[in-house]
Amino acid sequence: MDDGLKNIYLRDRNCPNCDIYESVLDLIPEPLVIVDREGYIVFFNQAYENYLGISKEEALGRYVPEVIDNTRLHIVSKSGKSELDCIQKIKNRDAIVQRIPIVSSDGENLGAIGKVNFQNKAELKSLMDRLRSLENELSQYKEQSLVQMRAAYTFDQIIGVSEQINHLKEVAEKYAATDLSVLILGETGVGKDLFAQAIHNASPRQHDPLVSINCAAIPHELLESELFGYEDGAFTGARKKGKPGKFELADGGTLFLDEIGDMPLSMQAKLLRVLQNRQIERIGGLSSRNIDVRIIASTNQDLDLKINRKEFRRDLLYRLNAATIKIPPLRERPEDIKIIVEKTLAKPEMQKSIDDQAISYLQSYRWPGNVRELINVVERLVYLSDGEVVSSAEVKHLLVDLFEDRGPGNGEDTEKSNEIDMTRNFADNKDLIELTSMSSGGESKRNLDDLVKEIEKKAIIQALENCKNNKAQAAKQLGIHRTTLYQKLTKHGLE
Ligand SMILES: Nc1ncnc2c1ncn2[C@@H]1O[C@H](COP(=O)(O)OP(=O)(O)OP(=O)(O)O)[C@@H](O)[C@H]1O
Ligand SMILES: [Mg+2]
């Protein structure tokens, strides 16, 4: 046996750490053998004992070809050349083995390690099967993420019978066939996302990705890297490999810039440049790349007001609104309420109906959260209602609860004073107005003051719109002095 190896691996050769080495090598679950330069076995682990049914004592010190079928370890120990992932017939089965030479730091061949990775092909096959199934899973996830990037909704799934919705669907379908940038406007929950998806799905880009980015949800400092991506190590903390931005991901398809009204001014300037040049540059990048992306943007904000306040660039608006779709709030199309409620109730998990009086109650509510809120309420009603039919009494009580929850400061949209608007809307419905005034403890007087304020604010906004923001003319139209108009603008936060 080789002296070098004897000293390292054999317990009976006074090596102080031999016990530890042996125990560690014994822990390896695969059969492992070590030979010296001449091919004599100096180590034989527990797994090899079990595999071949030969004890350590029987194997140690023997010439390896006498112990292991078809081995080449005695050759590798001399050649110093690895033989990896080889098939070796051991005990009449094809095993997959590794043969690794042990070479000293000065290049002298000391021996070789032999390891059986798979004792037969079945083991390998089972691993391959597992690998394949993992690969399948991975490709399914990839597929799913692509599906998520594609649009789920089509125009058929936008429910509505009102003239407004039908007209919008027709117009949007026409826009879909073009490559025009589309700006979708409307209050929260009216279906802006739905329209964006339906437009993409009906467009020639339908087989390419629809990538969305919510400009309000992403911290301003991250928006640029999300949109344009970054190169390797462009900034501290950036992923080493760099990352493509949404523009690149949407290449060939559509980029949906949701809540565009919340985009910071600095980004608006960069976005405008990209829309003009149709080229993007990753952060930290040295070159630009051409991109072919159709833009759909949406907002629930009043962009004209934002432009007046210098919070939104007019030139960007002109770039985005080649085509505009303004979705009216649900309260302006009460006929859609009935069909949306019925379709929601017809879903397999719901399976309930609703009486006509209940529908008329629902139609008299203001729905500040629009269709999203309506669907939410219908789901709550199904959960709360005992019978097969959602009754008008149940609807009435739920609406009164909503009314109470939305006291001043509790509404989603306090600026617009929903409570007041609800009173106005409920005025069509004697039952509800009675109930709400009872439950709100005679607070209707306070509501009247608010109502007056609300009407005043609306009248001012309307006059300014009519006069294209010329305050002198607006004051004249309102029949008040210009100074009074300025005071009122401050009072209503409209300056
Ligand atoms: N006409 C409609 N038919 C069917 N479902 C609708 C319709 N309009 C809206 N919805 C549903 O209402 C919910 C809100 O719609 P969506 O997310 O498109 O609103 P949004 O205008 O983008 O709102 P936000 O401004 O809050 O983002 C979704 O669940 C959507 O499926
Ligand atoms: Mg939305």
pLDDT digits (tens, 9 = 90+) for 410-419: 334 433 333 3
* 43 φ, ψ (degrees, to nearest 5): -150, 145
246 in a domain, yes or no? Answer: yes
Look at ligand 1, atom 8, and give the residue with the nearest C-alpha: 191
Over residues 354-359, the mean pLDDT reads 92
pLDDT, position 60? 92
Beta bridge partners of 63: 40
CA 87 to ligand 1 centroid distance, Å: 61
Among all bound ligands, the one having the nearest atom to the CA of 371 is 1
pLDDT, position 421? 43
Percent of the chain with pLDDT over 90: 51
pLDDT, position 155? 96
Q: Is ligand 1 within 6 A of the CB of residue 372?
A: yes
Instruction: Name the nearest CA neighbour of 292 among 229, 175, 204.
Output: 204
pLDDT, position 150? 58
CA 370 to ligand 2 centroid distance, Å: 12
pLDDT, position 178? 96
Give yes or no: residues 306 and 221 share one domain: yes
Give yes or no: residues 276 and 403 share one domain: no
138 in a domain, yes or no? Answer: no
Residue 5 has pLDDT above 80, yes or no: no
Higher pLDDT among residues 100 and 429, named by residue: 100
CA 260 to ligand 2 centroid distance, Å: 10
pLDDT, position 75? 95
pLDDT digits (tens, 9 = 90+) for 163-200: 999 999 999 999 999 999 999 999 999 999 999 999 99
Please, which pLDDT band fits residue 74 given cuts at 50, 70 and 90? very high
Q: Letter for the amino acid at 23? A: S
Kindly report the CATH number assigned to the domain that includes residue 223: 3.40.50.300
Residue ending a domain, among 266, 294, 326, is 326
485 in a domain, yes or no? Answer: no
46 vs 33: CA distance, rounded Å: 10
pLDDT, position 8? 46
Over residues 227-237, the mean pLDDT reads 74
Domain count of the chain? 3
**Structure token pair of residue 339:** 């069909």
Over residues 26-46, the mean pLDDT reads 92
Sign of CA dihedral 322, 323, 327, 333: positive
Give yes or no: residues 295 and 377 share one domain: no
CB–CB of 372/194 below 8 Å? no
Residue ending a domain, among 291, 326, 361, is 326
Give yes or no: residues 313 and 370 share one domain: no
Give yes or no: residues 276 and 343 share one domain: no
Ligand 1: residue of 166, 371, 374, 375 to mutate (most ligand atoms within 8 A of CB) is: 371
Give yes or no: residues 109 and 258 share one domain: no
Please, which pLDDT band fits residue 405 given cuts at 50, 70 and 90? low
Please, which pLDDT band fits residue 487 given cuts at 50, 70 and 90? confident
Give yes or no: residues 163 and 277 share one domain: yes
422 in a domain, yes or no? Answer: yes
Residue 337 has pLDDT above 60, yes or no: yes
Residue 380 has pLDDT above 90, yes or no: no
CA 42 to ligand 2 centroid distance, Å: 71
98 in a domain, yes or no? Answer: yes
Please, which pLDDT band fits residue 393 given cuts at 50, 70 and 90? confident
Instruction: Name the nearest CA neighbour of 280 among 270, 294, 268, 267.
Output: 270
411 vs 454: CA distance, rounded Å: 15
317 in a domain, yes or no? Answer: yes
Give yes or no: residues 160 and 309 share one domain: yes
Give yes or no: residues 348 and 322 share one domain: no
Give yes or no: residues 172 and 116 share one domain: no
Look at ligand 1, atom 17, and give the residue with the nearest C-alpha: 193
Residue 224 has pLDDT above 70, yes or no: yes
CA 376 to ligand 1 centroid distance, Å: 11
Look at ligand 1, atom 15, and give the residue with the nearest C-alpha: 191
CA 215 to ligand 2 centroid distance, Å: 11
Among all bound ligands, the one having the nearest atom to the CA of 168 is 1
Q: Is ligand 1 within 6 A of the CB of residue 151?
A: no
Residue 211 has pLDDT above 90, yes or no: yes
Give yes or no: residues 305 and 355 share one domain: no
What range defines the domain where residue 75 resides? 3-121
- Which of 256-270, 327-341, 409-423 is predicted with the least confidence, judged by mean pLDDT? 409-423
Give yes or no: residues 416 and 302 share one domain: no
244 vs 254: CA distance, rounded Å: 15
pLDDT, position 419? 38
Q: Give the Cβ contact number of residue 7 at 10 Å.
A: 12
272 vs 257: CA distance, rounded Å: 13
Q: Is ligand 1 within 6 A of the CB of residue 35?
A: no
Residue 133 has pLDDT above 60, yes or no: yes
Please, which pLDDT band fits residue 140 given cuts at 50, 70 and 90? low
CA 180 to ligand 1 centroid distance, Å: 23
pLDDT digits (tens, 9 = 90+) for 23-34: 888 888 899 999
Q: Is ligand 1 within 6 A of the CB of residue 169?
A: no
Q: Is ligand 1 within 6 A of the CB of residue 187?
A: no
Between β-strands 182-185 and 323-326, what pairing exists: parallel, antiparallel or unpaired? parallel
